[in-house]
Amino acid sequence: MALVDSFLHKCKALKHIKQLQAQLIVSSAFQSYLCRTKLLEFCSISPSGDLGYAVEVFRHVDNHHTNEWNAIVRGFAQSDEPRQAVEWYVTMLHQARRPDALTCSFALKACARMLGLFEGREIHGQYIRFGFEADVLLQTTVIDVYAKCGVLEQAQQLFDEMTRRDVPTWNALITGLAQGNRPRDALSLFNRMRDSGVVPNEISVIGALSACSQLGAASEGKFVHAYISEVRLDTNTRVCNALIDMYAKCGTIDLACDVFNKMPDRSLVSWNAIIMGLAMHGRGFHAVQLFNQMDSSSGVRPDAVTYLAALCACNHAGLVEEGLRIFKEMTKYGVTQNIKHYGCVVDLLGRAGRLEEAHMMIKSMPLVPDAVLWQTLLGACNTYGNIDLAELASEKLREMGSASDGDYVMMSNVYAAYGRWVDVGRVREAMKVNEVRKMPGCSFIEVDGIVHNFVNGDQTHSNSKEIYAKLDEISIRIKAFGYVPGTRFVLHDIGEEDKENVLLYHSEKLAMAFGLVTVKEGSLIQIYKNLRICGDCHIVFKLVSKIYEREIVVRDRARFHRFKEGLCSCGDYW
């Protein structure tokens, strides 16, 4: 058997495998199921193998051993056709062959990959009937299936019922909770894992960092980072990539840069993560600088994601000519321009007020424009008040069947900016007829592990009196500093005083006031908003950062804004 193993690992092509098989047949060694299993396993899972050939060999053999079935099921479970693994498992049952724990494990891994909840439940029930319920590997794989299919309660229940758990068991649930919109529970489980004396590995910390990214929890991310350094995982490229992503998404881009600069080895993912992170934080010049250094200094060639990140950086920093240059050079390096790249360029031109060029880009592109491109153009028309082009974009969106609330709101705002209230009413009536509801703006801030949500004009918070008193104080202090309410941002046909009141009680201002009241001096105030920050709020946040000497980070749906000493990291270009 050792000799067969040795020969198989020397096979570099299918023809070599066929030659070896011929020799095994001539020498009668192929009659041994152990030899056949080794050959089938190699063909099924080795890069030098061929799964199709393994299937062909299998079908020419009678009285298959369980290990031979396992080789085929495992091969398909790892292939681009995981459903085939489940079908082979079912065929095995129909032929009255009893699977072993490994067969069930491979079939369950296929269920996890194809998100086959029904099939996973069936196999779960079967392996219990087969008497394999004490197998930690099987239980871990079922947890992974349930977690990936979004059935987190079942995954948690199975985990809690286990008498023995290994590191992959903890990892399956941590990753599932982090990816299943329960990041707080994922972090709690990671801490529980450490308290239980189980040593987290690369997968564990990546899951915990993913949870921190979703929560925007930089402080907890730093604790995870400290542990990573303690166990010397800080040289692991995948872990460092997760750290870069976490710090960037938590608004601490300088720490992301620090991790990147200290990495001993950088992958393509490392470069993409830091360039996109810098783009989100308005560090366009730095991002483009890194992009230009990438190929020459690292030997890592940019891909479509890298170019998208670089274009986003140019977009957020207003680097129009640089962005156009990068876009044009893509094909020169063999990278195909996709719809997202075109979308970035349309946004780049639109933000710069070059609306006709943006329109021509959409009209002349070789791809069929999607709704996002026309929405991007409509947004630019909203910013620059181009009614004719806005109406054209709006018509295109209607033709495409787009029913996004943002389409209607932007068109309404274009009309409102010019006092065309009849047209505003017509757009709002269309929203009612088509049952389109405007997404309400909301902001949240986390203080001492508790998330506080606010909507415009919110008076339901337990600290409402303090919040509104602080807003009144802020209003007096910023007006003394020269602030004039930006009532032009209130696109409703109401009086100036009413407009001022509407502006004062925007959700992000309520969150900011609460932060000033509750977050200790010297600590960062971090706010998240589901929509873009409004122009007036942007002005107010800059003034507050200067007057109150506080650093405030706002992450809206497009990017980060870091307000410090009266300035914003976006350079007032967003």
Please give the pLDDT value at position 535: 84
Question: Which residues is 552 bridged to in the sheet?
Answer: 525, 563
The encoded tokens of residue 141 equal: 């794989």
The pLDDT value recorded for residue 74 is: 93
Structure tokens that stand for 248 in this block: 């960037």
Structure tokens at 7: 């020969």
Specify the amino acid at residue 17.
Answer: I
The answer to whether residue 371 scores a pLDDT higher than 60 is: yes
- Which one has a higher pLDDT value, 446 or 492? 446
pLDDT, one tens digit per residue, over 14-25 is 454 555 555 555
Give the least confident one: 77-86, 174-183, 387-396, 484-493: 484-493
Task: Say if residue 521's pLDDT is above 50.
Answer: yes
Q: How far apart are CA 340 and CA 344, in angstroms?
A: 6
DSSP 400-437: TT---HHHHHHHHHHHHHTT-HHHHHHHHHHHHHTT--
Convert the pLDDT of each residue in 253-263 to its tens digit. 999 999 999 99
3-state SS assignment for residue 527: strand
Least confident of 165-174, 318-327, 432-441: 432-441
Of 107, 168, 177, 190, the C-alpha closest to 148 is 177
Q: Which letter does DSSP use for residue 136 in this model?
A: H
Residue 331: the pLDDT is: 86
Cβ atoms within 10 Å of 463's Cβ, excluding its own: 14
CA distance 219 to 250: 9
CA 117/CA 84 separation, integer angstroms = 15
Residue 426 tokens read as 């017509």
Residue pointed to by tokens 């990017």:
559
Could you tell me where the DSSP H helices lie in 78-182?
Answer: 82-94, 101-114, 117-129, 136-148, 152-161, 167-179
Average pLDDT on 304-314 reads 95
Tokens describing residue 356: 């006709």
Amino acid symbol at 79: S
Most confident listed range (388-392, 497-501, 514-518): 514-518
Cα separation, 272 vs 270, whole angstroms? 6
Encode burial over 406-425: b for 16+ CB neighbours within 10 A, e otherwise: bbbbbbbbbbbbeeeeebbe
pLDDT band for 338, please (50, 70, 90 cuts). very high
Strand bridging mode 525-529 / 442-447: antiparallel
What is the pLDDT confidence band of residue 500, given thresholds at 50, 70 and 90? low
3-class secondary-structure state, position 561: strand
**Mean pLDDT throughout 385-408?**
85
CA-based torsion, 249, 252, 256, 257: positive or negative = positive
CA distances from 464 to 10, 313, 460 (A): 73, 39, 7
Cα 228-229-230 angle, rounded to 5 deg? 90
| Residue 104, pLDDT above cutoff 50 | yes
CA distances (Å), origin 383, targets 237, 386, 413, 535: 42, 8, 9, 11
The percentage of the chain sitting over the pLDDT mark of 70, rounded to a whole number, equals 89
Q: Is-contact 542 566, C-beta < 8 A?
A: yes
Kindly report, residue by residue over 48-72, the tens digit of the pLDDT.
667 887 888 788 777 788 888 998 9
Q: What is the model's pTM? A: 0.82
Q: How many CB atoms lie within 10 A of CB 567?
A: 13
Summarize pLDDT for 188-241 with one digit per residue, the tens.
999 999 999 999 999 999 999 999 998 888 889 999 999 999 999 999 999 999
Instruction: Say if residues 510 and 458 touch (Cβ distance below 8 Å).
Output: yes
Name the residue with higher pLDDT: 506 or 487: 506
Residue the block writes with tokens 């394999």: 132
Q: What is the pLDDT of residues 436-469, one digit of tens each?
A: 777 778 998 988 878 899 998 888 999 999 999 9
3-state class (DSSP) for residue 225: helix
Which of 63-77, 255-269, 315-329, 405-419 shows the lowest per-residue confidence on average (mean pLDDT)? 405-419
CA-CA distance, 551 to 546, in Å (whole number)? 9
Mean pLDDT of 421-427: 80
Whether the CA torsion 277, 279, 283, 286 is positive or negative: it is positive
Would you state the structure tokens that stand for residue 64, as one six-digit string?
Answer: 């298959």
Residue 129 CB: number of other CB atoms within 10 A? Answer: 8
Q: Residue 545: what residue type?
A: S
457 membership: H or E segment, kind and range: none
pLDDT on residue 28: 52
How far is the C-alpha of 149 from the C-alpha of 571, rounded, in Å? 43
pLDDT of 158 reads 94
The DSSP secondary-structure symbol of 489 reads G
pLDDT at 12: 47
User: Quick one: what percent of the chain has pLDDT higher than 90?
Assistant: 55
Label the pairing between strands 450-455 and 525-529. Answer: unpaired
> What's residue 322's pLDDT?
95
- Taking 70 as the threshold, does the pLDDT of residue 76 lie above it? yes
> What's the one-letter identity of residue 45?
I
Helical (H) or strand (E) element with 558: none
* Token pair 């070059």: residue: 354
Confidence of residue 377 (pLDDT cuts 50, 70, 90): very high
Token pair of 108 as six digits: 């369950």
Instruction: Return d(Cα 314, Cα 106) in angstroms, integer.
Output: 46
Task: Indicate if the pLDDT at residue 497 is higher than 90.
Answer: no
| Mean pLDDT confidence for 268-287 | 94
C-alpha radius of gyration, the chain, whole number: 29
On average, the pLDDT of the chain sits at: 86
